[in-house]
A and B are shown apart, each in its own frame.
Chain A
Amino acid sequence: GAGVSQSPRYKVAKRGQDVALRCDPISGHVSLFWYQQALGQGPEFLTYFQNEAQLDKSGLPSDRFFAERPEGSVSTLKIQRTQQEDSAVYLCASKTGVASGYTFGSGTRLTVV
């Protein structure tokens, strides 16, 4: 597609509920990144993939967070047993290579109530 597509755009989850956030990167972009952005802060790294391989997951806050990209294109970020501190905008970005800039999607705003 023309840009990075994320869905849903907004998600309200009850505390303890599981959520799944989807990212459809730009076609042909090998690298895919997930960032978490809290209000008033910069994006914070969660994890990244090169094709289907998850090369770095050091930013995932806990084992409740899990990401996958099984066929090297669409990626899903799953959060189990959501907690209030998980409320944030989750940004997906793709890039053609290590040396290029990120193209971000519009993000998913997750609110845990």
Chain B
Amino acid sequence: GQQVMQIPQYQHVQEGEDFTTYCNSSTTLSNIQWYKQRPGGHPVFLIQLVKSGEVKKQKRLTFQFGEAKKNSSLHITATQTTDVGTYFCAGRGTNAGKSTFGDGTTLTVKP
């Protein structure tokens, strides 16, 4: 079945440094979504990418979808302590109703 892998598993940064997490799927995706989960909380939807090569920005966050629609990345510029949490990607295969989540990248930010 479809597998979604994320790296790195953990990332520790100093406040103000940049952060990137990468997501790779074993199969071509129809879309990819990104979620943020704060400690003790539930995943919260951030964004969805659909088109090959698509790039979307939300303030300091930049999301990219690969040309082959099998990989994606999330980049945060100048991290803040409010960015702490686990970032998950979730890929939906073609002809699939469900999305498959990666195991996430947990970001900690040292003030």
Q: Which residues of A contact B (CB under 8 A)?
A: 31, 33, 35, 40-45, 48, 50, 55-56, 59, 91, 98-107
B59 within 8 A of A: no
In the complex, are the beta carbons of B97 and A106 less than 8 A apart?
Answer: no
Which of the four size classes fits the interface of chain B?
20 to 34
In the complex, are the beta carbons of B45 and A103 less than 8 A apart?
Answer: yes
In the complex, are the beta carbons of A42 and B101 less than 8 A apart?
Answer: yes
A91-B43, A99-B48 known; A42-B88 Cβ under 8 A: yes
Q: Which 7 A-B pairs have the closest CB atoms?
A: A101-B45, A42-B101, A104-B42, A42-B103, A45-B98, A43-B101, A104-B43
In the complex, are the beta carbons of A42 and B42 less than 8 A apart?
Answer: no
Q: Which residues of B contact A (CB under 8 A)?
A: 4, 6, 31, 33, 35, 41-45, 47-48, 50, 88, 90, 92, 97-104
The answer for the CA separation of A98 and B99 in the assembled complex, in Å, is 10
In the complex, are the beta carbons of A101 and B48 less than 8 A apart?
Answer: yes
How far, in Å, is B40 (CB) from chain A's closest CB? 10
Chain B residues whose C-beta falls within 8 Å of the C-beta of A102 in the assembled complex: 33, 35, 43, 45, 90, 99
User: In the complex, given contacts A48-B97, A101-B45, what are 15 additional A-B residue pairs having Cβ atoms less than 8 angstroms apart?
Assistant: A41-B103, A41-B104, A42-B103, A43-B43, A45-B99, A45-B101, A50-B97, A91-B43, A98-B92, A99-B50, A100-B48, A102-B45, A103-B45, A104-B44, A105-B42
How far, in Å, is B65 (CB) from chain A's closest CB? 14
In the complex, are the beta carbons of B33 and A107 less than 8 A apart?
Answer: no
Chain A residues whose C-beta falls within 8 Å of the C-beta of B33 in the assembled complex: 101-102
Which residue of chain B has its CB nearest to the CB of A104? B42
How far, in Å, is B26 (CB) from chain A's closest CB? 15
